[in-house]
Amino acid sequence: MSPRSEETPNGRAPKGATPEAAARGYDVSTPHPAASGTAPQSQERGTSPSKAGAADRPAAKDAEVAKGAKRAAEPKDTKDPKAAKAAKAGKNADRTRGNAPTPPSRPQATTLDPGERRRLLDGAHHDPHAVLGAHPEAGGVRFRALRPFARCVAVLVDDRRIELEAEGDGLFSALAPLAEVPAYRLAVVYDGPEQVVDDPYRFLPALGELDLHLIREGRHEELWKALGAQPMTHGGVTGTRFAVWAPNAQGVRLAADFTFWDGTAFPMRSLGASGVWELFLPGVGPGTAYKFEITRRDGSRQLKADPMARAAEVPPNTASIVTESGYAWGDEAWMAHRGDVPVHRAPFSVYEVHLPSWRPGVGYRELAEQLPAYVKDLGFTHVELMPVAGHPFSGSWGYQVTSYYAPMPRLGTPDDFRYLVDALHRAGIGVIMDWVPAHFPKDDWALARFDGEPLYEPGDPRRAEHPDWGTLEFDFGRTEVRNFLVANAVYWCEEFHIDGLRVDAVASMLYLDYSREGGDWLPNVHGGRENLDAVAFLQEMNATVYRRCPGVVTIAEESTAWDGVTRATHLVGHTGFGGLGFGLKWNMGWMHDSLGYVSHEPVHRKYHHNEMTFSMVYAYSENYVLPISHDEVVHGKQALVSKMPGDWWQQRANHRAYLGFMWAHPGKQLLFMGQEFAQGGEWSHESGPDWWLVDPAYSAAGDHRGVRDLVRELNTVYTATPALWQRDTDQGGFEWIDGGAAEDNAFSFLRYGTDGTPLLCVSHFSPVVRQDYRLGIPPSLAHTVWTPVLNTDDEQFGGSGVPVDGALKTESTPWHGRRHSIGLTLPPLATVWLAPLA
């Protein structure tokens, strides 16, 4: 679990001068306000309001309240005509000077029901619009406003001014002799000049019935357009609509930077059975920091960040930010053609990147100038970005998300992130994003017990608590929670043009007993260990993304033998489940076995030979990606080159040979940053790759540059050779020549393109040279002349330079049960690719 971020006092002036902030008289010198009759709010954003009473209220505030009460008690009229005239003149002079006029002197007795008044002031009213604003009643129209610390409030109707009388606790009202509710504005005075603002409580809901129906049904595929903070023009007035799902709350109020995190003035209304609370706030626009003040069932209150916020403050601050995109995309050509060829039949070579540490201290815009050029030069077709959604603790690498709809703000704004994606697309590089729907952290200002009750997490702690990471799991059985996640997947693909979602920790979602002991988990309704709700969620997410976003691929990080991860959702397998619907799946078995093999000394490898061949037993059961990811080069596992045995030369030779084997093996490739130049140290999220290793000033830079040159060549030949990617999911595209040469530490096989064109691959994991190493050739290739197209032992890559003879003719020498064969020289610790001579 990520540690909770301590938030700093907001003792600054609000970002952006909104009319509402000015109307409330806030500036940098204004102390943090708390409405009279309500609990004082903490100076720290994100902390629960104090339950302290008047004894805890600052003396200055008591003096101010007492002074206001004294003014309110003074007689408004006088029997002395001269005095009345003088008083009127003084009032006008005060207005001219910008000082506050004297508030009404004869407050009427409150007309609010005491219970309703209490609920309103305590933030527990479900329909503040029924009390505040303007409403017809006997004798005219009743205007009522809640403006804590205002000295006076008036209603402006055309050229008329109707003074509201103080009811105490920041409430003002008056009954005006009007036949119907007019268009009006409020004139509010605090301690400065009078400000004229629109009343939030005169507006109808800005959410339609269709939106609410879809939210209730859990089928709102554009949920981000309905909930959260939406700048808009409503009723001819510019402002922001705030909406949040909190079905268990007694009340919800909006707290913002311009209110100094006091939500008293802005209670939101409940929109019925949907569980949604809504408020349109005029004059508030992009850049405003805000939270929702949730009143729980027990009456306590908590400031919560918006689950649907599309921008967030830079940690350790945790508020949400109103935002509106103005980005103009330039990737039309990429978007139009990215789905022309299904990904499993296309070249797919992925460079995995942790953006904050790839170039530490560099933001999205600067990354857009460096990352596309680097990736394109190395020939990768895609980048995979470790989670970019907002997360408070950088040590989680992005895997403990608190802002599912906001790109992490440390590196820039949401439009800055769009700029990076756009730059990658214009360079011809696809963008895959790690997505984390399995769990979320327990930070009390975020999703955990959002409205005072388990909401996004299951109510039963045996299903809510994730035992490995100290986090909470999502309640996949709740339609609104599934909707939140499904819409989030669509959001990143549509709003940010993401080309693929790599879904993290799928296995932990699929099994109810994942990392749990016997009595610590509950079986499903059939008595089994499968999480049926998670299965349904993953199927719905995949089906929705593929339907709405042509060309996008979803990739499962799934570490078990679950049947049908990449099978279509409507096709039922032998286990009785339909497929999960993913496009690709990480081949964790291949990764584990192959790394185990190469970590052994060559003399011992013959005893582990099957660890390199076993993957072909199941290679076509799913559509696979071969991952050498960040997880394999941290936490004592060592960097890829450091896993290899032998001296420095042998380590690099093993590294190069392994990459050659990986690129030739059926499946797509993924390589984590730093491994492309054989970084010897484990990855650190604080310092990133050891770029100094390839700096020409470093004496051994040539060793590391050689490995990087090999990666470039691997990608170049791979992309130009359809045999290596066209039939990755077709077992007819692969044929062993010799998978049993354990004594030689050698593996040889053929790959075929759709037109039958072959590529011959030989990986040799012994530090010796083998002369005239013979390989049997199938009858269909009996007259083929072979030429090497890649040799990882080439001197330009740092190898020994043992040559593989060119123009190798197939001979009538039986070998490996075939009538024809070729003989070639195998370099030490090397992978060789040979293609038919044109």
The residues that are catalytic are 504, 557
Pairwise CA distance, residues 775 & 778, whole Å = 10
HSE toward the beta carbon, residue 35, CA cutoff 13 A: 24
Query: What long-range pairs does 473-477 form, CB within 8 A, spacing at least 24?
Result: 473/438, 473/439, 473/508, 473/509, 474/437, 474/438, 474/439, 474/440, 475/533, 476/509, 476/531, 476/533, 476/534, 476/536, 476/537, 477/533
CB count in 10 Å sphere of residue 729? 19
Pairwise CA distance, residues 136 & 309, whole Å = 37
Contact 476, 401 (CB under 8 A): no
Pairwise CA distance, residues 231 & 285, whole Å = 6
Identify the helix (H) or strand (E) that includes residue 822: strand 820-826
CB count in 10 Å sphere of residue 324? 16
- Tell which residue, 394, 378, 377, 385, has the closest CA to residue 420: 385
Residues in the chain: 838
Strand bridging mode 251-256 / 269-270: unpaired
Pairwise CA distance, residues 41 & 265, whole Å = 13
DSSP class per residue in 478-525: SHHHHHHHHHHHHHHHHHS---EEEETTHHHHHBTTTT--GGG----T
Is 727 in a helix, a strand, or coil? coil
Pairwise CA distance, residues 347 & 731, whole Å = 17
Strand bridging mode 276-282 / 439-440: unpaired
- Tell which residue, 259, 408, 346, has the closest CA to residue 623: 346
Pairwise CA distance, residues 5 & 685, whole Å = 18
Structure tokens at 27: 């500036």
Contact 516, 448 (CB under 8 A): no
Amino acid at 299: G
CA distances from 173 to 155, 186, 794 (A): 10, 12, 87
Contact 690, 641 (CB under 8 A): no
Amino acid at 505: A
Q: What is the 3-state secondary structure (H, E, C) of 684-708?
A: CCCCCCCHHHHCCCCCCHHHHHHHH
HSE toward the beta carbon, residue 484, CA cutoff 13 A: 27
**CA torsion, ordered 708, 709, 711, 715, to nearest 10 deg:** 140
Contact 317, 341 (CB under 8 A): no
831: exposed, middle or buried (Cβ count in 10 Å: 0-12, 13-18, 19+) = buried
The residue with tokens 């971020």 is: 5
Pairwise CA distance, residues 666 & 728, whole Å = 5
Identify the helix (H) or strand (E) that includes residue 663: helix 648-664
